[in-house]
Structure formats: structure tokens, C-alpha cells
């Protein structure tokens, strides 16, 4: 289907970077409100229980912290997929699902590494590269020595799918790169030794672009063009790319601006990757323990309430039934 009618354009495409920042801030603030306002139903015991439940404002993550941890996990996912030799579009879909999910949810409230594995599993299914879950987790265990129970991934699967609003089809720049590289009008004017080289190099740059927000802001053809633009080192080739764009698409200025923006975003992401996140990660691990305990307790309480309701409903029904029987016997016996 054409890109303008796809779910990616309708729901997961934004005009400005600021919009994305707004959304992330909103998610972060709602999550922090929920965590801070948690009051356990059971009375706090003396000493230990108090520490577990209470969260201070300093312990919470800011929007930037969240983003840094997100990028770290995207890198991990990318490395994992490369290690298992998954095809490029499987890896790309997994990363997109991951980013989209955490655009609508905060990382403080979900187990991020399990969600990452779930995203990879779902993307394998969506991109016709099905991996058996237990085999996949066994492979993961070999590489990362982290033992994950398949049941937990299956539980999270539906959560993630709901978070994605069941939009499984994602357009990646890889196909557009393929098309541009096979267009002789573009490649004959570039000073490159072989078309294969530039193809491989631009695929690497596309992979790096997944660490930025480019896929939310620019359509895949534009990202593909920008990756070619950045592959070619000398000026004359870059000019010839722009001339090609003018010849084929017109709007040269708009396209050039976008290409430059994407290049800047990539540079920024490189600097962000170099930032030391060990402090933030420790904070995050601590926070996650507390929050997951909170969530488990709320789940237990909700289960208890639900059970009580069920019991009441059953008692009511048996009462009604016994009343009915009495009436029936009365009617029969006159």
C-alpha cells in the first residue's frame, strides 16, 4: 500500500521533533505521578517495609535519562540481532516496535529487557522469520547468560501489541536504498569504485539512524537518500546527488534541509552514545525494583477484590436459585 495510507504515516509520523518531546514529557510525568502517589493497602510494618515502598523525587528518571537508557537498549537489541544473523528488516522492525512502545509508555513501569526480547520475537513473526520462542531464549541465554522464562515473554506479548495499537507493518529505508543504488542515473555520476560498496555503507548508516528519531520524522525514502548522501565523501558526488534529487523530485531546498537535519541528528546521537550512563543505570535498577514490587502488590490487591466480587456473585446466584426452587415447590404443591 502507498506510504500515505499506511498506519505508519497516520499514527506514528510527526511533523516536528518538539512534538515527540512533548509526548515523552507527558508520559514521564504521568508515570512519576503514579509512582509517587502509590499507597500500599496493607499497613506499613516497622523498619524494612517503609524503605521498599517509598520513592523520592530524586530517585525518579527524567526524560533525558529515559531516552539515554532507551538508546542503550536499542544498541543491545541491534547487537543481539546481528549476533543471530537476523535479516536487516527483522532487526529494523524490532527496534521500531521498541521505540514506538516506549513512546506511549514509560520505561519505569515495564521490564525493559523483557520488552526488548518480546519486540524481537514479534518482529520475527511479523517479518516472516519465525523463531521458536524457547529456541530463541536458549540462544539469548548462551550469549547474555540471562535466563528468561518463555511464559513471561508470552504474557508481555499482548501488552506490547496493545501498546503498538496492533500496527505491525513498518516501512524501512532499506528497500529505498536498494532502489536508489540500482538507479544508473544516480550511480554513474558518483565517484565510487563499485555500487556494492556504497550499498553496504549506506545500509550501515541506515542502521545507525535507528538510534535517532529520524524514522518518526522523515519518510523512509528521505532517510535512504540521506544515508547515500553521507556515504559519499567528496563534494562533487554530494552535489550530483542533489542534482539528481532536483531532476527527479524538484523541491531541492526542502530535501536538502531534511538531509542536513538527518545528518545532524546522526551526529548528535553519536555524542549521546558516548555519554557515561552508569549512574543513571544504577538509579534505574533501584527504581525498577521498587516499582515492580508496587505493581505486584497492586496486582495482588486487584486479584483479591476480583475474587471477592466473584464470590459475592456466586453467593447471590445460589440464593436466587434456592428462592426459585422454594417458589416452584410451592406452586406445585398448591
Partner 1 sequence: MSKRAAPMSEAEQIMDKENRIRKAILKDYNKTQQDFENLKEYNDFLEEVEDIIFNIVNDIDVEETQEKIREYRNKNKMQIARNRARKDEEVRRKKQLAEEEVRKQQEAEAEALNPTAAAQKQNVNTAFIPNNAPLVFAPQPVPKNQDAINAFMEFHNIKYQETQEQMQQRAKAGGYKMDYPLKRAEEEAFSTVILLQAN
Region of 148 on the Ramachandran plot (φ > 0 left; ψ -120 to 50 alpha; else beta): beta
In angstroms, give the least distance from the CB of 172 to partner 1. 9
Contact (CB, 8 A) for 301 and 41: yes
Burial of 322 (0-12, 13-18, 19+ CB in 10 A): exposed
In angstroms, give the least distance from the CB of 221 to partner 1. 4
User: By C-beta, is 183 or 319 nearer to partner 1?
Assistant: 183
Contact (CB, 8 A) for 70 and 96: no
User: By C-beta, is 3 or 307 nearer to partner 1?
Assistant: 3
Residue with cell 530524586: 58
User: By C-beta, is 60 or 198 nearer to partner 1?
Assistant: 198
User: Distance between alpha carbon 243 and the CA centroid of its chain, in Å?
Assistant: 36
Closest CA to 151 of 114, 189, 108, 101: 114
User: By C-beta, is 117 or 245 nearer to partner 1?
Assistant: 245
C-alpha dihedral over 232, 233, 234, 236, to 10 degrees?
20
In angstroms, give the least distance from the CB of 283 to partner 1. 40
Closest CA to 227 of 178, 170, 169, 189: 178
User: By C-beta, is 165 or 254 nearer to partner 1?
Assistant: 254
In angstroms, give the least distance from the CB of 251 to partner 1. 6
Return the CA Rg of the chain.
26
In angstroms, give the least distance from the CB of 181 to partner 1. 9
User: By C-beta, is 28 or 209 nearer to partner 1?
Assistant: 209
In angstroms, give the least distance from the CB of 9 to partner 1. 8
Closest CA to 228 of 276, 271, 263: 263
Roughly what angle, to the nearest 10 degrees, separates helices 195-209 and 220-231? 120
User: By C-beta, is 69 or 255 nearer to partner 1?
Assistant: 255
Cα 62 to Cα 89: distance, rounded to the nearest angstrom: 32
Q: For 258-278, give the secondary structure using H, E and C.
A: HHHHHHHHHHHHHHHHHCCCH
In angstroms, give the least distance from the CB of 257 to partner 1. 12
Q: How far is CA 216 from CA 13, 103, 208, in A?
A: 5, 10, 14
Q: Which residues bind partner 1 (CB under 8 A)?
A: 2-4, 9, 171, 175-180, 182-183, 219-222, 224-225, 245, 248-251, 254-255
In angstroms, give the least distance from the CB of 176 to partner 1. 4
User: By C-beta, is 4 or 62 nearer to partner 1?
Assistant: 4
Contact (CB, 8 A) for 53 and 290: yes
User: By C-beta, is 101 or 218 nearer to partner 1?
Assistant: 218
In angstroms, give the least distance from the CB of 220 to partner 1. 5
Amino acid at each position: 500500500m502507498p506510504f500515505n495510507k499506511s498506519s505508519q504515516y497516520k499514527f506514528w509520523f510527526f511533523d516536528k521533533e518538539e512534538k515527540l518531546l512533548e509526548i515523552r514529557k507527558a508520559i514521564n510525568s504521568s508515570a512519576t505521578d503514579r509512582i509517587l502517589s502509590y499507597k500500599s493497602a496493607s499497613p506499613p510494618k516497622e523498619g524494612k517495609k517503609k524503605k521498599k515502598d517509598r520513592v523520592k523525587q530524586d530517585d525518579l528518571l527524567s526524560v533525558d535519562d529515559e531516552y539515554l537508557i532507551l538508546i542503550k537498549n536499542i544498541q543491545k537489541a541491534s547487537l543481539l540481532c546481528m549476533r543471530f544473523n537476523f535479516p536487516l528488516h527483522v532487526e529494523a522492525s524490532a527496534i521500531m516496535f521498541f521505540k514506538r512502545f516506549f513512546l506511549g509508555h514509560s520505561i519505569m513501569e515495564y521490564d525493559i529487557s523483557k520488552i526488548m526480547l518480546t519486540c524481537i520475537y514479534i518482529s520475527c513473526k511479523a517479518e516472516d522469520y519465525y523463531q521458536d520462542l524457547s529456541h530463541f531464549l536458549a540462544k539469548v541465554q548462551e550469549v547474555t547468560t540471562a535466563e528468561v522464562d518463555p511464559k513471561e515473554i508470552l504474557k508481555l506479548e499482548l501488552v506490547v501489541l496493545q501498546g503498538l495499537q496492533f500496527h505491525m507493518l513498518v516501512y524501512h529505508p532499506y528497500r529505498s536504498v536498494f532502489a536508489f543504488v540500482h538507479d544508473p542515473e544516480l550511480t554513474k555520476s558518483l565517484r565510487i569504485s563499485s555500487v556494492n560498496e556504497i550499498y553496504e555503507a549506506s545500509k550501515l548508516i541506515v542502521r545507525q539512524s535507528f538510534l535517532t528519531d529520524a524514522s518518526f520524522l522523515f519518510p523512509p525514502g528521505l532517510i535512504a537518500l540521506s544515508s547515500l548522501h553521507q556515504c559519499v565523501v567528496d563534494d562533487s558526488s554530494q552535489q550530483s546527488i542533489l542534482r539528481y534529487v532536483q531532476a527527479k523530485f524538484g523541491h531541492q531546498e526542502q530535501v536538502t534541509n531534511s538531509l542536513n537535519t538527518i545528518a545532524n541528528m546522526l551526529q548528535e546521537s553519536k555524542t549521546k552514545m558516548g555519554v557515561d550512563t552508569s549512574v543513571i543505570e544504577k538509579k534505574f535498577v533501584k527504581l525498577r525494583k521498587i516499582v515492580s514490587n508496587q505493581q505486584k502488590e497492586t496486582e495482588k490487591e486487584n486479584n483479591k477484590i476480583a475474587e471477592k466480587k466473584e464470590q459475592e456473585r456466586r453467593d447471590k446466584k445460589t440464593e436466587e436459585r434456592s428462592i426459585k426452587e422454594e417458589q416452584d415447590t410451592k406452586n406445585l404443591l398448591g
